[in-house]
Amino acid sequence: MMLRVVACAAALFLTASTTQPGSTVRNSVGFVQGTINGKGPYWFLIDSGANRSALDDDVARDLGLLTPGKSKVEGAGGSITVAEATVGELDAGGLHARKLKPTVYDLSGSLSPEGQTTAAILGVDALQKYAVLFDTKGGRVAFAENADQLANLKGATIVPFEFDNGIPRINAEIEGVPAKLRIDTGAAIGDGPNVFINLTDPFYRRMLAKDPTLTPYSEFTASGTGGDTKIAVVKGKQARFGKAEVQVPRYLVQPPVGYFARGDAVGFLGSYAFKSWPAFILDYPKRRLILLAPQL
C-alpha cells in the first residue's frame, strides 16, 4: 500500500532536537555526529547491515586506537583484510557504546555528509541496545532506549525481525514468493520516487521462473566493500513485509560475488525500501521494524 505522506513532524516525532547530536541523511543513508573517547566531533554512518563497527584508519592512528591483529570484512564486491582497534567510549547523542572492537580500514571512499568525511561506521555492536529512528524525509537519525520515546507509534505497521549473524532480517513476500530479507541501512541510492529491493540472483531466477515477464530493463554500477559490481534492475508488481505492501517496486539483482556468492546469502532492504512511510524505527531490544503511519 503506497501511502501519501502528509505527516506533521511535531505530532509524529517526540524526540526534542536539543537532545540529539547533529544528524543528516544523504542518499537514504543516515549519519550522526559524535565523539570517540571524548574527541571530536566526528561523523558516523549508521549501518544496520554491518555486524561489526568500522573505524577510519587515519582516525584510528591519530587517536592511538590500533591493536595487533587482522580480520576479513566481506561485502557485496568481495572481501578485504583489515586492521583492528579498541574504542573505550563512543557517544552520539542518545547512543553510548563502550569497549567497541571495530575493524579499521580506509573509509575515505565511503559515503559521507556533504563536505564532510566519515570517521566510523556504526554496526550492530554499537546499535544493539537502542531503538533507532530513520527519518529520511526529515533528514535525521535519533536513538532512544524505547521506541515510543522517538515517535508516536499509533497506527504504525510492526514487522518482527530476527538476527542473521547480528543483522536484522524479516520475512517478506516478493511477487508471491516467500523471502527472507536483511535490513541494511548502510546501502545508498540516489534520490527519486522509486522503491528498491535488493535480491540475490538465485532468488530472482525462482521469481522469473514463476513470472517470465520480470526481465531487467536497466542496470547500474554499485560500489561496496571489495569492489564494484554491475546490478540488473527489474520492474516488479508487488512486495509485502508482514501487513505492509509496496506496489511496483524495483528489484536490484545482486550478482553472485562476495557475500552474495554464499549459499546462505539473502537479499536486503535499504532505507530506500521504506519510502512509502514517513519514517521507520529499528527497535533492536524488541526485535521489530516499525513503519510509522502518517499523523493527519
Q: Same domain, yes or no, for 119 and 215?
A: no
- Single residue among 147, 174, 209 that ends a domain in this structure: 147
pLDDT of residue 226: 56
SS3 labels along 229-290: EEEEEEECCEEEECCEEEECCEEEEECCCHHHHCCCCCEEECHHHHCCCCCEEEECCCCEEE
Is the CB of residue 179 less than 8 Å from the CB of residue 267? yes
Query: Is the separation of the CB atoms in 94 and 16 below 8 Å?
Result: no
Do 66 and 190 lie in one domain? The reply is no
Comparing CA positions, the residue from 87, 90, 88, 85 lying closest to residue 34 is: 90
- Domain limits for position 211: 162-274
Please say if the pLDDT value at position 21 is more than 70: no
Residue 4 has pLDDT above 60, yes or no: no
pTM: 0.89
pLDDT of 207 > 80? The answer is: yes
Claim to verify: residue 205 and residue 181 sit in the same structural domain: yes
**Which range among 10-14, 18-22, 170-174, 233-237 shows the weakest confidence by mean pLDDT?**
10-14
What's the pLDDT band for 79 if we cut at 50, 70, 90? confident
Distance from C-alpha of 19 to C-alpha of 169, rounded to nearest angstrom: 30
Strands (E), 58-156: 66-75, 78-85, 87-92, 95-100, 103-105, 118-122, 131-135, 140-144
User: 7-11, 31-35, 224-228, 229-233: which range is least confident on average?
Assistant: 7-11
Q: Domain for residue 178, yes or no?
A: yes
pLDDT-wise least confident of 2-6, 222-226, 264-268: 2-6
Mean pLDDT of the chain: 88
- How many CA atoms lie within 13 Å of 212's alpha carbon, on the beta-carbon side? 0
Among residues 97, 119, 147, which one ends one of the domains? 147
**The pLDDT of residue 191:** 80
What percentage of the chain has pLDDT greater than the value 70? 89
Angle at the Cα of 226 (from 221 to 232), degrees rounded to 5? 25
* Residue whose C-alpha cell reads 516467500 in the numeric block: 178
User: What pLDDT is stored for residue 12 in this prediction?
Assistant: 60
Between 135 and 226, whose confidence is greater?
Answer: 135
- Determine the length of the chain: 296
* Residue whose entry in the numeric block shows the C-alpha cell 514468493: 177
> Residue 77's pLDDT band (boundaries 50, 70, 90)?
low
Residues 17 and 109 in one domain: yes
Same domain, 170 and 107: no
Other Cβ atoms closer than 10 A to 182: 23
Q: Say yes or no: 168 and 232 in one domain.
A: yes
Confidence at residue 72, expressed as pLDDT on a 0 to 100 scale: 73
Q: Look at residue 224 in the predicted model and tell me its pLDDT.
A: 61
**130 plus 210 within the same structural domain:** no
pLDDT in tens, 89-140: 999 988 999 999 999 999 998 999 999 999 999 999 999 999 999 998 889 9
pLDDT of res. 6: 30
Q: What is the mean pLDDT of residues 237-242?
A: 94
What letter represents residue 32's amino acid?
A: V
Q: For 62, which DSSP code?
A: H
Query: How many domains does the chain divide into?
Result: 2
Tell me, yes or no, whether 172 and 143 share the same domain: no
* CA 173 to each of CA 155, 236, 247, 291: distance values in angstroms, whole numbers, following the listed order: 22, 12, 12, 17
Tell me if 154 is assigned to some domain. no
User: Which residue type is seen at 43?
Assistant: W
CATH code for the domain in which residue 207 is found: 2.40.70.10
Q: Which of 27-41, 98-112, 226-240, 265-279 has the lowest mean pLDDT?
A: 226-240
C-alpha to C-alpha distance for 110 and 187, rounded to whole angstroms:
11
74: pLDDT strictly greater than 70: no
Cell of 178: 516467500
Residue 57 predicted with pLDDT over 60: yes
The lowest-confidence range among 2-6, 247-251, 263-267 is 2-6
Residue 88 near residue 5 (C-beta atoms within 8 A): no
On whether both 117 and 217 belong to a single domain, the answer is: no
Asked whether residue 5 carries a pLDDT value surpassing 50, the answer given is: no
Tell me whether residue 57 is in a domain: yes
Which DSSP state fits 193?
Answer: S
- Residue 241 within a domain: yes
